[in-house]
């Protein structure tokens, strides 16, 4: 590779390994868009939202049942997240629309929402617990999505945490997870669902109406 980002072999992977989901009424472009853009070799919150939207459509169609919702996030979305992190590390995907140090993560947003929700009312872990690498992150990252995200950020970014991730550091000062979660939900709506550069690529129809900006989170 001659540059920091964009290993062109990603295009071969993208072409050979896209999912064929014939039971989905959505264009085949949409599931493929969940794994990044093969031309630009980038990945960001818009691609992540495409995957969540595909899951939402399956729920609207009755393929995913209400009793499956927990597993959809805890198993399916977690596996998707692991897969995408692996692709980002192997092919050095360029962050699409990253806010740099003023973003949660160069690539993802939803795992912070799901992860903070998972920790609401936890007896011992507080938002400030993310700074406890030895006792908390090392021992519980595999159980809690938010902690896994923090651990990954600390692994791939160098330097002091408040310097390379000031927003995440600010969130650690919030008194409880419920406030963290509600703040992230509002931020996601403004920074992702209401951003024209992201949503003008989106496919709308009878399952997802163009005016329903909260569709992704209304199910899960």
Q: Tell me the per-residue pLDDT of 27-45, one tens digit each, with 9 for 90 and over.
A: 444 566 888 888 888 898 9
pLDDT given at position 174 = 97
Burial of 22 (0-12, 13-18, 19+ CB in 10 A): exposed
Task: Dig out the tokens for 108 from the structure.
Answer: 């993802």
Cα separation, 185 vs 177, in Å, equals: 12
pLDDT given at position 28 = 44
Question: In CATH terms, is domain 33-200 a member of 1.20.120.1150?
Answer: yes
Q: Is 58 left (phi over 0), alpha (psi -120 to 50) or beta?
A: alpha
Range with lowest mean pLDDT among 11-20, 39-48, 134-143, 164-173: 11-20
What's the whole-number mean pLDDT along residues 38-56?
89
For 7-73, the three-class secondary structure string (H helix, E strand, C coil) is CCCHHHHHHHHCCCCCCCCCCCHHHHHCCCECCCCEEEHHHHHHHHHHHHHHHHCCCCCHHHHHHHH
Task: Dig out the tokens for 133 from the structure.
Answer: 């690498």
Helices 78-91/145-156 angle, 10° precision: 10
pLDDT at 71 over 60: yes
Number of Cα atoms under 13 Å in the Cβ half of residue 201: 21
């Amino acid at each position: 590779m001659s540059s920091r980002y964009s290993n062109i072999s990603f295009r071969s992977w993208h072409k050979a390994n896209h999912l064929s989901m014939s039971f989905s009424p959505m264009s085949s472009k949409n599931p493929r868009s969940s794994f990044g853009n093969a031309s630009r070799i980038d990945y960001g919150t818009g691609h992540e939202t495409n995957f969540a939207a595909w899951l939402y459509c399956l729920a609207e169609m009755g393929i995913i049942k209400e009793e499956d919702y927990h597993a959809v996030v805890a198993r399916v979305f977690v596996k998707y997240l692991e897969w995408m992190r692996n692709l980002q590390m192997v092919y050095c995907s360029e962050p699409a629309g990253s806010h740099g140090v003023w973003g949660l993560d160069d690539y993802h947003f939803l795992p912070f929402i799901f992860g903070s929700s998972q920790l609401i009312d936890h007896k011992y872990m507080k938002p400030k617990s993310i700074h406890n690498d030895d006792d908390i992150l090392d021992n519980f990252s595999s159980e809690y999505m938010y902690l896994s995200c923090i651990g990954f950020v600390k692994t791939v970014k160098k330097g002091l945490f408040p310097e390379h991730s000031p927003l995440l550091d600010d969130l650690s000062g919030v008194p409880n997870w419920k406030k963290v979660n509600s703040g992230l939900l509002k931020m996601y709506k403004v920074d992702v669902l209401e951003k024209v550069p992201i949503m003008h690529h989106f496919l709308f129809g009878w399952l997802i109406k163009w005016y329903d900006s909260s569709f992704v989170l209304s199910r899960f």
